[in-house]
Structure 1
Amino acid sequence: MLRILFLFLLTISAAHAQDFTWTPGLQRAYADLQKLKVQSAKQLLAAETGQNGIRIFLDDYADMLLLVTSDDDQTFATLSDREDDRLDALKKLDDSSPWQRVLLAEVRLHWAFSKLKFGKELSASWDVIRAYKLLSENQKLFPSFLPTYKSLGTLHIMIGSVPDNYVWVANLLGLHGNIKQGQQELLRAQQDSSFRLEAQLIDLMVRAYVLKFSDRDGQTLQRLISENADNLLLHFFGATIEQKNGHSEQALAYLTKRPTGPAYLPLPVIDNILGDIYLQKSEYSTATAHFRQFLVSYKGQNFLKDSYYKLFLCQWLGPTQIDAQARLLLQKVLTVGRTTVESDKAAQKFAEAYLKKGVSPNQKVLMRARLASDGGFTDSALAYLRPYSDSKFSLTTEKAEYNYRLGRIYQRRNDPDTAIPYLIQALALSEPDQLSFGATAALQLGYIYQQKNDRARARSFFQKALSFKHHEYKNSVDNKARAGLSSL
């Protein structure tokens, strides 16, 4: 009788062990998904048998990649019921395994990311909260289980960068964490072979979008991409990270060398990024071709306002400068897409202001300087501004922008002492009307004094950046300022 009972228990244990198994086929499928080779991954997943939680997770991962790269509302409506199906299937598997809660959380985060892309912020927020609670519980139950820390570390960084006036909300919801804790957890997650590459990429994206991206981080990113030459996702995120940090020539190199072909998932947004880079380089006809191609191939609602705004800029700043045709493009900004992402919000704001009041001729000079500086083409940016001085601009907004642009140009040229007076002047001019140039100038001054190890001044400027209440870049500026304060 005891022998039969022992065999029965062994059978149950063996069955449960199969609930979360990384078979060779699933390992290959996950590797392909990370490269955006979704079709080959789906073929590998279809060949797997049994109710394996790893397969359920990877099926969901494939759907998430399709949704966030296409931005197609119809596809989202078709696939959205799968979240509950996948969660129900995972809940039926062995809850004594450290994998169960991790994969439940991963599925919720997949859908949170997807829902944010489609403007479903409230539902996405609840998915994030539930994922956090699952991962926190798993950490307590299995503290040495490394896969927990990839997403838990990311969430702790997000919670740690919440602006002060929203901290009480996070606490009320039971969300606790800070940036330093999250960074340590992401480093710990990189020790795990399953999620190492993903954890490395998340760590670099956090440094680029929440913290301060350093030259050393850029070298790490370059090495990671060179070691994974067939990984389209890495080339894409590498380009977005470098473009975000004012290194558009490096971003262009990553996109030029990216793997292509029918094996990879289409990424229409790459044409939008290429359009941005060529616009920064003042190559207006090439930029126009990329923005047009994006609008033809893209099925979503994000980046439409941004693309028509950029087409306007190509026409407005280009050699022909036919303002009447450019105005028609700007009117299109008001009728297409949505204002979920910051670039679309900025495009909408510019279009409304321009069509209502027009702009002074000086705006073209400032815009050329801004685009060149944003791309890291500081020689061109300085050349645009050298013939001008503060006194040549009549409007306060233009004076503030002129000073901000010069400050950022010198900051990018590693000349912070020259940059400081311009950024301080931009801040002073912006504060009465709460212009975005003041918030971004304060943020950059915080970074400069942080590098100088002047913690008191750095803290003061980060707090000043947070004090600006209404501007189109508030989310990103506040996240970075909050992260800066946490690091002091």
Structure 2
Amino acid sequence: MRYLLIFLLTIQVATAQDFVWTPGLQRAYTDLQKLRVQTGRQLASREPDNGVRLFVADYADMLTLVTSDNDRLFSQLADREDERLTALKHMDDNSPWQRVLQAEVRLHWAFVKLKFGKEISASWDVIRAYNLLAENQKRFPDFLPTYKSLGTLHVMIGSVPESYLWVANLLGLHGNIRQGQQELLRAQQDSTFGLEARLIDLMVRAYVLKFTDTDGQTLQRLVQGNRDNLLLHFFGATIEQKNGHSEQALTYLNTRPTGSDYQPLPIVDNILGDIYLQKGQYATAETHFKQFLHVYTGQNFLKDSHYKLFLCYWLANQPDARARPFLAQVPGIGRTTVESDKAAQKFAESYLKRGVSANQKVLMRARLASDGGFTDSALAYLRPYTEGRFTTAGEQAEYNYRLGRIHQRRDEPDKAIPYLKRALVLSEPGQLSFGATAALQLGYIYQQKNDRTKARSFFQKALSFKRHEYKNSVDNKARAGMSR
């Protein structure tokens, strides 16, 4: 009897120690969130072997893989997912951390697998993570760490194109954007995942909803309040660049923390190249793209960088013999997992097969400048032209769309409306992407004017375009716009 009692006490002590956030593990996780990966690994290695240490080690592996894009390293580390999940499953089932950390590990590897083109396996990880989090919510409804990733998944489910909703429902995935945002807001109160939840909420606003000036101010406060956090500076830059504020993105990158303590981020040079390309500083852009290719060992962004190097020469009016070789390499290198590589592949195939008109160079300069928020330059490129100077419906639609977006970015919605409407009309017969994106922007403009009827009609018009390369992202934003 005495030995049985000792055995039971031993089991209780063991399970009680399964999920302990020791001060050392807390410091390790904080360092990892700043992209101090090696320091985080070292701190974690000194701590007792428990479920939290497994999670922290897994987080370090995920950060290493997604920042390096190293295929060989991915092959070496891939088995660790199952090993860690098996270990976590055998830990204390009565702890709210057991399912949360299993879900986090699955989401880490889902993110990694997407980067390496393993979409099906990544999808199954997401589904299993959702089920773990949904179960944890039922068992421990007040446990805040559940809501960071559950909220993220509910936003993702709510963003699924309507034609695929039946698949989500069939798999037992339920949720909507508003529900997810409320859960992310709740998760921000958590001492462990609160910072991550705040960043995810801003990324949802940037990539799914509409990023506002207020959101930009919130992001700025978050970055400035964490000056030693490389991850926040990086995501701050990508968010601002995505939303047409490349000058602010440049500020975040130029003030980012550096040093041997931080994980190398080769992709920063690719982003800097993008920004200087938008600014029309082609020689500086070229330097950054070449530096990226010199140090990067992965397969993503190769097509994109070679395409952008072509643009540096082409837009600077260099001889075709200097520009074309970069574009000629695009079809045979890298992969088309990320959107920018897909766009590069499409442009290269079209240009190499048919060439482009001189008008395309004007439109490209205006597009890049407008995308970066450099609207004075963008307007100057297009001012000498009229719609009649462009010969094809595609060029005419793009001309009107670019002018509409320029005026919209300059906070001149009434000037933007006729151009965007004209782009929509020209695009409908051929189902061009400019029509879908113009309709989306018209929806936003009328939403700001509080004309809900017109806003909804334009969001529906955006959804009606069936064949274009930006359908998923446009549909997500249009559906989110209607839900508001």
> Normalization by structure 2: what TM-score?
0.98
Decide which of 300, 304, 309 is 2:298's aligned counterpart.
300
Letter in 1 for 2:66: V
**2:351 matched to which residue of 1?**
354
Once the two structures are TM-superposed, the CA of residue 349 in structure 1 deviates from its matched residue by 0.9
**2:375 matched to which residue of 1?**
378
**1:198 matched to which residue of 2?**
196
Decide which of 170, 179, 182 is 1:181's aligned counterpart.
179
Q: Which runs of 5+ in 1 are unaligned?
A: none
Within a 5 Å distance, the mapping from 1:27-426 to structure 2 comes to: 27-50=26-49, 52-318=50-316, 320-426=317-423
Match of 1:213, SS state, is coil
**1:14 matched to which residue of 2?**
13
**1:427 matched to which residue of 2?**
424
Supply the distance in 2 between the matched residues of 1:212 and 1:370 (Cα, whole angstroms): 20
Measured against aligned partners, the alpha-carbon deviations of 1:299-334 in whole angstroms (never above 9, x if no partner) come to 11111111111001000011x421222111111111
Once the two structures are TM-superposed, the CA of residue 38 in structure 1 deviates from its matched residue by 0.5
Is the 8 Å Cα contact of residues 342 and 472 (structure 1) preserved in structure 2? no
Supply the distance in 2 between the matched residues of 1:71 and 1:456 (Cα, whole angstroms): 46
> Normalization by structure 1: what TM-score?
0.97
Letter in 2 for 1:266: P
Supply the distance in 1 between the matched residues of 2:430 and 2:275 (Cα, whole angstroms): 31
Is the 8 Å Cα contact of residues 466 and 481 (structure 1) preserved in structure 2? yes
Is the 8 Å Cα contact of residues 148 and 193 (structure 2) preserved in structure 1? yes
Letter in 2 for 1:43: Q
Measured against aligned partners, the alpha-carbon deviations of 1:424-444 in whole angstroms (never above 9, x if no partner) come to 111111111111111111111
Is the 8 Å Cα contact of residues 431 and 465 (structure 2) preserved in structure 1? yes
Once the two structures are TM-superposed, the CA of residue 49 in structure 1 deviates from its matched residue by 2.1
Match of 1:334, SS state, is helix
Match of 2:217, SS state, is helix
Match of 2:251, SS state, is helix
Once the two structures are TM-superposed, the CA of residue 123 in structure 1 deviates from its matched residue by 0.4
Letter in 2 for 1:228: N
**1:479 matched to which residue of 2?**
476
Letter in 1 for 2:84: R
Match of 2:172, SS state, is coil
Supply the distance in 2 between the matched residues of 1:146 and 1:13 (Cα, whole angstroms): 25
Is the 8 Å Cα contact of residues 61 and 110 (structure 1) preserved in structure 2? yes
Match of 2:431, SS state, is coil
Match of 2:416, SS state, is helix
Deviating runs (4+, > 6 A) in structure 1?
Answer: 3-8
Supply the distance in 2 between the matched residues of 1:462 and 1:169 (Cα, whole angstroms): 23
CA RMSD across the alignment = 1.3
Give aligned pairs, total.
Answer: 484
Letter in 2 for 1:19: D
Supply the distance in 2 between the matched residues of 1:472 and 1:333 (Cα, whole angstroms): 18
Supply the distance in 2 between the matched residues of 1:347 and 1:462 (Cα, whole angstroms): 28
Supply the distance in 1 between the matched residues of 2:366 and 2:421 (Cα, whole angstroms): 19
Q: Which runs of 5+ in 2 are unaligned?
A: none
Supply the distance in 1 between the matched residues of 2:336 and 2:471 (Cα, whole angstroms): 14
Letter in 2 for 1:115: K
Once the two structures are TM-superposed, the CA of residue 219 in structure 1 deviates from its matched residue by 0.7
Once the two structures are TM-superposed, the CA of residue 475 in structure 1 deviates from its matched residue by 2.2
Measured against aligned partners, the alpha-carbon deviations of 1:428-479 in whole angstroms (never above 9, x if no partner) come to 1111111111111111111111111222222222222222222222222222
Supply the distance in 1 between the matched residues of 2:5 and 2:401 (Cα, whole angstroms): 74
Is the 8 Å Cα contact of residues 303 and 343 (structure 1) preserved in structure 2? yes
Letter in 2 for 1:106: E
Once the two structures are TM-superposed, the CA of residue 154 in structure 1 deviates from its matched residue by 0.3
Once the two structures are TM-superposed, the CA of residue 5 in structure 1 deviates from its matched residue by 7.9
Match of 2:414, SS state, is helix
Is the 8 Å Cα contact of residues 161 and 472 (structure 2) preserved in structure 1? no
2:444 corresponds to 1:447:
yes
Is the 8 Å Cα contact of residues 67 and 265 (structure 2) preserved in structure 1? yes
Supply the distance in 2 between the matched residues of 1:5 and 1:147 (Cα, whole angstroms): 36
More off after superposition, 461-470 vs 341-350: 461-470
Measured against aligned partners, the alpha-carbon deviations of 1:222-269 in whole angstroms (never above 9, x if no partner) come to 111111100000000000000000000000000000001111000000
